[in-house]
C-alpha cells in the first residue's frame, strides 16, 4: 500500500518514516517549506532521509507555502518575533506556534494521496511530550480524519500518527530499534550550522536523549542538562 509521509527532516518525522517503512508501505515523501528560519538545513535533512530509505525522486515532493510566512504570527516565520528559549514546564503555547500550520501540510498530503493512490498519510505529531501546539492533539487528527473521509472522492485515505502517544525518550528508543538515521535529522528552530541546544525543539530533543540514556549523534553549540 502506498503511504505519504510528511517529513520536516526532524527526529519525529524521521522515526515516522521508519514506522511506515517497517509497515512495508511504498513510501512517498513530502517536505514543506513554509518560510521557516532553518529551511535550507531541513531540506537537506529531508533529502538525506529520502536517500537513506532509497525513495526515488519521482516519489518525493518538496513544496512551498510562502503565504504562511506572509500571514505571520510565529517566531518561526517572522524574524521580528524572537525564538523564545524553551520553558518545558510552561502550559502556554510558545511563540513558535504557526497558526493552523498542520492543516496546510495535511491538505497537501491528502491532495497528493488522492492523485497518486496512497491510502495512508503519516505525520510525526507528538502530543504527550510536545510544545503544546493545539494541532498536535489526538482529537485534532480524529477530527481531520473525518474531514478526509467526507471531503475526498476516494473516501478511504487515513491520517496515521504512529508516535503521537510516545514521550521523546520513547521516540529515541524506537528510532534506535528501527535503525532510523537520526544523525541525518535536523530539529533546531534557530540555526542551520550547529544546533543551538536551547530553543523549544532542541530542548525537547536533548531531554529525550538524556532520559533515554543515549547520546544524540548531532553536534550542539551547547548541551544543557534538562529535567
Rg, C-alpha atoms of the chain: 17
Taking the complex as a whole, the smallest distance from the CB of residue 223 to its own copies amounts, in Å, to 31
Report d(CA 14, CA 36) in Å as an integer. Answer: 19
Phi, psi of 125 (to 5 degrees): -70, 145
| CB-nearer residue toward its own copies: 69 or 218 | 69
| CB-nearer residue toward its own copies: 34 or 226 | 34
Taking the complex as a whole, the smallest distance from the CB of residue 85 to its own copies amounts, in Å, to 20
| CB-nearer residue toward its own copies: 28 or 209 | 28
Task: Name the site residues for its own copies (rule: CB under 8 A).
Answer: 61, 63-68, 70-73, 93, 97-104, 106-108, 110-112, 114-115, 134-135, 137, 139-140, 143-144, 146-153, 155
Q: Is the dihedral of CA 36, 128, 84, 91 positive or negative?
A: positive
Taking the complex as a whole, the smallest distance from the CB of residue 189 to its own copies amounts, in Å, to 18
| CB-nearer residue toward its own copies: 113 or 195 | 113
Taking the complex as a whole, the smallest distance from the CB of residue 199 to its own copies amounts, in Å, to 19
Q: How does DSSP classify residue 220?
A: B
| CB-nearer residue toward its own copies: 122 or 209 | 122
* Residues 6+ positions from 99 with CB-CB distance below 8 Å: 71, 73, 74
> Hey, what's the cell of 75?
517566531
Taking the complex as a whole, the smallest distance from the CB of residue 72 to its own copies amounts, in Å, to 6
Asked whether 17 and 27 are in contact (CB, 8 A), the reply is: yes
Report d(CA 211, CA 227) in Å as an integer. Answer: 9
Amino acid at each position: 500500500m502506498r503511504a505519504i509521509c510528511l517529513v520536516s527532516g526532524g527526529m519525529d518525522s524521521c522515526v515516522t518514516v521508519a514506522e511506515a517503512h517497517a509497515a512495508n508501505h511504498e513510501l512517498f515523501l513530502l517536505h514543506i517549506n513554509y518560510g521557516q528560519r532553518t529551511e535550507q538545513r531541513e531540506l537537506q535533512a529531508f533529502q538525506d532521509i529520502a536517500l537513506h530509505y532509497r525513495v526515488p525522486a519521482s516519489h518525493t515532493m518538496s513544496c512551498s507555502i510562502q503565504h504562511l510566512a506572509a500571514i505571520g504570527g510565529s517566531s518561526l516565520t517572522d524574524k521580528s518575533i524572537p525564538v523564545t528559549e524553551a520553558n518545558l514546564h510552561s502550559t502556554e503555547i510558545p511563540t513558535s506556534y504557526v497558526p493552523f500550520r498542520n492543516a496546510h501540510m495535511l491538505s497537501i498530503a491528502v491532495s497528493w494521496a488522492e492523485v497518486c493512490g496512497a491510502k495512508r498519510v503519516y505525520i510525526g505529531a507528538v502530543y504527550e511530550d510536545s510544545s503544546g501546539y493545539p494541532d498536535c492533539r489526538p482529537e485534532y487528527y480524529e477530527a481531520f480524519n473525518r474531514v478526509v473521509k467526507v471531503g475526498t472522492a476516494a473516501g478511504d485515505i487515513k491520517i496515521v500518527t504512529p508516535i503521537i502517544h510516545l514521550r521523546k525518550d520513547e521516540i529515541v528508543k524506537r528510532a534506535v530499534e528501527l535503525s532510523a538515521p537520526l544523525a541525518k535529522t535536523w530539529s533546531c528552530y534557530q540555526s542551520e550550522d550547529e544546533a543551538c541546544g536551547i530553543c523549544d525543539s532542541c530542548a525537547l530533543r536533548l531531554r529525550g536523549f538524556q532520559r533515554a540514556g543515549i547520546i544524540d549523534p548531532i553536534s550542539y553549540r551547547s548541551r544543557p542538562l534538562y529535567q
